[in-house]
Every structure is written in C-alpha cells, then in structure tokens.
Structure 1
Amino acid sequence: MSTYLKNMAGYKHGQLKSKSYDEIQEMFDKEMKREKTKKKKGDDDQEEAEMKRHIEIVKDDEVAIDPILLATKPLVIRADESSKRYSSMIKMLQGIDREDLGTLWKLVKAKDENTRPERDYERVLWGDLKVMFEPDIKSDVWRSLQGYKVNVWKLFDNCRVQFLRFRNLHVFMLVEKRYPLTPITITNMLNKKLQGDHWNEMCYQLLKLMKKQEKGQ
C-alpha cells in the first residue's frame, strides 16, 4: 500500500513513515475510491462523446420537413384552459408540451374510441397518436420499415417525442418507450443522425437506448 501511495498518489516517504497501518489503509482506500470515480467519469465522458457523434444540432426554423396536414381548419386544443391552433402535426409538436399531448390523445380517444375516423385529417391525427401511445407491436408496419431509407430523425424535447420521416411514410414515437424497430432501421437512424436544437440529457438517453436496441439488448 505504501509503495502504491508513493508511486501512484505522489506521497513522500516521510509522509508515510509516521503513519500507522490503519491510517495507511484508510489513505489507500480513499485513493482507490478516487481513482475509481475518476475512471468512471472518464468512461462516461467517452460514452457521451460517442453518443454526440450521432446528433446534429439544428434549430427548428432550419429543419426542412414537409408538413403533414391534419385539417383544412386549424385544430383547437384546450388542454391548459387556453386555445392553441395548429395546421400540421409538426407545428403542433414544436409548440405543445407532454402534458397537453397526453390530454390530446385522451380527447381523441374518447371521441373516436377504437374506431378509426373516416375524415382524412382526423384519421391521420388518430393514427399518429395511436402509434405513439398504443403501438401494435405485432403489426407488419414495423418490419416493413427496414426497407425504407431514413430521411429525417428529429427530436421534439418539449413534448418528449421523436419523429422518423421516410420517403413515403412517417412515424412519431415517445422517447422513453421501446418500439419494435429493426436493427437495420436503427442503424439507418444513427447514420442519418438525430436532429435536435441542443444537446441535453434527453438526447443522450435516447441515443443510448437506440444503441442498445441496435445491439438487440
């Protein structure tokens, strides 16, 4: 222990000579704990640096995403006693928070129950929200995604939703929920890079989850 403390921790012989065995043991244990903490921090920093390779910082007004129209009239939501009008799902997600998003799904679900609406804009809204909150993991849709190239992978951290845009289809997903994405699709997502307006813990955890799913964990 004394040899380690001299060679690795920089203690002088005189500093250790007058110490008892118990004191040296305590110094050694503290040094081991410090080194373990330092190593863990280094590993965490390395992992974070690896995750940052898969993100592209893009402001919302710089993101080119074709809007998916939901209505000829703006959709009115009164989840927080105020009216918010949106003309597309993308614009809605840029301005809505998670609580209001959950309230919107409850309102849509209560109105239509489990029957898909017939009107185009209502059907798109109902379908997007149902996949988001209650995905059918046995649906062939998820397996069919592996044949499509990922055009956009975007994070809306205000409502904790990620958006995947393919050539002819799209999907909205909650960031903390596991969806049956194939490893091929996830690899395409990571290669395309996640678009976010800044780096934060949500980006880190989402990318970490995707890396685990890519490896089948």
Structure 2
Amino acid sequence: MVTYLKHMGKYTHNQMKSKSFEEIQKLYKREQKWINDFVPMDSQVVKDSRKGKAEGSRKKTVARKRTCEKLNDESVKRQKIEDDAEKEELKAYLDIIPRDDETINVESLATKYLIVNWKTHVLSEDNMYYEIIRGDGSTKPYKIFTKMLDDFDRQDVLDLYMLVKERFETASLEGYDRYLWRDLITVFEPSEDDEIWKAQQDYTLISWRLFDSYGVHVLLMDIGVSIHMLIEKTYPLTQEMLSRMLSRRLEVDHECKMAYELLRFTRSQLQK
C-alpha cells in the first residue's frame, strides 16, 4: 500500500513513515476510489450526454460517408501493401532466437507482489548477488540487472528504480549498489555527459536484445558493459552505434509488433 501511494498518490517517504497502518489503509482506499471513479472523456456517460446533438448531424454525414467508403477501402489496401513491404524489409534486421531452454515466468500480474526492497550480498571479491524482496516476503537472487529482466515486468523495473533512487538521495551508494544504480539511471535518466555514452565508440557490440514483456532493449558490449533502454525513449546513441545495432540485428525469442516498432524507430534515428 505504501508503494502504491508513493507512485499513484505522490506521497513522500517522510509523509508515510509517521502514519499508522489504519491511516495508510484509509489513504490507500481513498486513492483507489478516486482512480476507480474517474470517468474518461470518451466514456459512455459523456457520450450519452452528447447523443442528442450527434443524432442530427449523423444523418447529414451518412451520405458523405458512403461516398468516401470506396476511396477509403482503396486507401486501406494500398496502406496494407506498403506496410507488408516495410515489414519484409525490417525482417532483415530481426534475428529470432527461441529461448526454449530457459524457464519463462508466467506468474499472473494479479497475484504478483510489488518489489519492496533489495539487498546486496558480497560473498567474496568476485562472488556477489542482489536479493530482490517482494511484498509477500518472497525473495530471489540475481547476479546482474540483465538477469532480472527475464522475470521483471515494466512495473518491477520502475519500482526498483524508485527504491534505489530513494536510498541514493539519503545515503551514499557503494560497491555493487553503484553498478545497479548506474544501470537504472541509464534507463530512466540518460545524459550524454555520462561516461557510458561518451565511451560508446570504444565498445564492440556483441548483441542487441529485446525484452518485449516490458519494453526494454539491451546492448551487450565486449567488455561486459550492458546498456538498457526503454523502447519508446530516445537515448544519446551515436550514428555509428545505431548502424552497428541494425547490422548486428535485433534478437527476439518470437516475432512481435514491438520488435518492428523498435526497428522502425531505430532506423528513423539513423536516417536523421
């Protein structure tokens, strides 16, 4: 409930820490009621209020619509041909690699608990893991951020980012926590002044992979550097790196609309 209120109700940590369970529960129910009672502009309630005015104008437009139907049908057919041609062209940049040997997380979002904390365990100089803790008390270890993406959805990534950012604002992150923060800030707060973007011309791209369950794509470099990006966000990638990405081809475990949208977006950036 606290995590929900922070994200949806914009409550701060200081506002929440002094409240009792009953007070938090009341705020939570009030916030949910506000969202559940919200009526979009295009809802049936609003539509009904305009029905009277629309009825008169509807009759006037029927004839015009019939006249346009043939032209619209022809336009749709032409567009479909163009879309199919573009899809075949984009397939050249797609590499479908099924991951049948991996365990796929099919846990329903309706029963999946939010991430509420994380701990970093260092066993030795070269042996460590991140322990992700969910609201029901369950935990799971991960060696690197990229491995988390096999289980995470978009909300999980956002929740972890907010948790790490909150701790970073009150305390100095050290050791492996700084690596986790670097991965997350690269996703959500990209800056061309960051070293990871300034040094990209020195990297050799090994693979470009899409996680379509939450819309993140990853660049894996030869020196172990991984760059994670949201598919809808523009990042300070050089023209040379964009060209390398298309030449290397996008790895997916199945053909999907998101892959074609990402390829189209990447190619448009390269053509600018």
Q: TM-score, normalised by structure 2?
A: 0.61
Matched residue, 2:207: 152
Task: Supply the RMSD in Å over aligned alpha carbons.
Answer: 2.7
Q: Which moved more, 1:79-88 or 1:186-195?
A: 79-88
Distance 1:185 1:113 in 2: 32
Match of 1:185 in 2: 241
CA offset at residue 56 of structure 1? 0.6
Q: Which letter does structure 2 place at the counterpart of 1:55?
A: L
Aligned position for 1:49? 88
Q: 1:87 Cα deviation (Å)? A: 2.5
Distance in structure 2 (CA, Å) of the matches to 1:54 and 1:80: 42
2:186 aligned partner: 131
Partners of 1:116 and 1:133 lie apart in 2 by 19
Shift of 1:195: 0.5
- Aligned residue number for residue 174 of structure 1: 230
- Aligned pair count reads 186
Structure 1 SS opposite 2:199: helix
Aligned residues of 2:205 and 2:221 also touching (Cα < 8 A): yes
1:202 aligns with 2:248: no
Structure showing the higher strand proportion among its residues: 2
Q: Does 2:251 match 1:164?
A: no
Secondary structure at the counterpart of residue 164 of structure 1? strand
Matching of residue 84 in structure 1 with residue 140 in structure 2:
yes
Query: In 1, are the aligned partners of 2:219 and 2:228 still within 8 Å (CA)?
Result: yes
Cα distance in 2 for partners of 1:160, 1:88 equals 18
5+ long unaligned stretches in structure 1: 1-24, 64-68
Contact 1:98/1:159 (CA < 8 Å) preserved in 2? yes
Secondary structure of the residue aligned to 2:234 is coil
Cα distance, 1:175–1:81 mapped onto 2, change above 3 Å: farther
Q: 1:115 to 1:47 in 2, by over 3 A?
A: farther
**1:57 shift after superposition:** 0.8
Distance in structure 1 (CA, Å) of the matches to 2:235 and 2:199? 14
Greater RCO, CA 8 A, separation 6+:
1
Worse overlay, 132-141 or 34-43? 132-141
151, 155, 161: which one aligns with 1:95: 151
Q: Give the gaps of 5 or more residues in structure 2.
A: 1-63, 103-119, 123-127
C-alpha separation between the residues in 2 aligned to 1:26 and 1:98?
41
Q: Could you say if the C-alpha distance between residues 202 and 110 of structure 1 is closer, same or farther in structure 2, counting changes exceeding 3 Å?
A: same
Q: CA deviation at 1:143?
A: 4.1
Shift of 1:80: 7.3
Q: For 2:173, what is the secondary structure of its paired residue?
A: coil
Q: 1:174: Cα distance to partner?
A: 1.2
CA contact (8 A) 2:133 2:139 kept: yes
C-alpha distance 39-139 of structure 1, shift in aligned 2 (>3 A): same
Judge conservation of contact 2:129–2:144 (CA < 8 Å) in 1.
no
- Alignment of structure 1 residues 26-65 onto 2, 5 Å: 29-60=68-99
Query: Per the alignment, do residues 79 and 86 of structure 1 end up closer, same or farther by CA in structure 2, a change over 3 Å counting?
Result: farther
Deviation at 1:76, TM superposition (A): 1.9
**Deviation per residue, 1:61-103 (Å, 9 max, x gap):** 679xxxxx98524422326764333222222111111101100
Distance 1:59 1:137 in 2: 34
Q: Is the 8 A contact 1:51 1:207 kept in 2?
A: yes
Q: Report sequence identity in percent.
A: 34
Code of the aligned partner of 1:177: K
Query: Shift of residue 31 of structure 1?
Result: 3.5
Structure 2 counterpart of 1:159, which letter?
A: Y
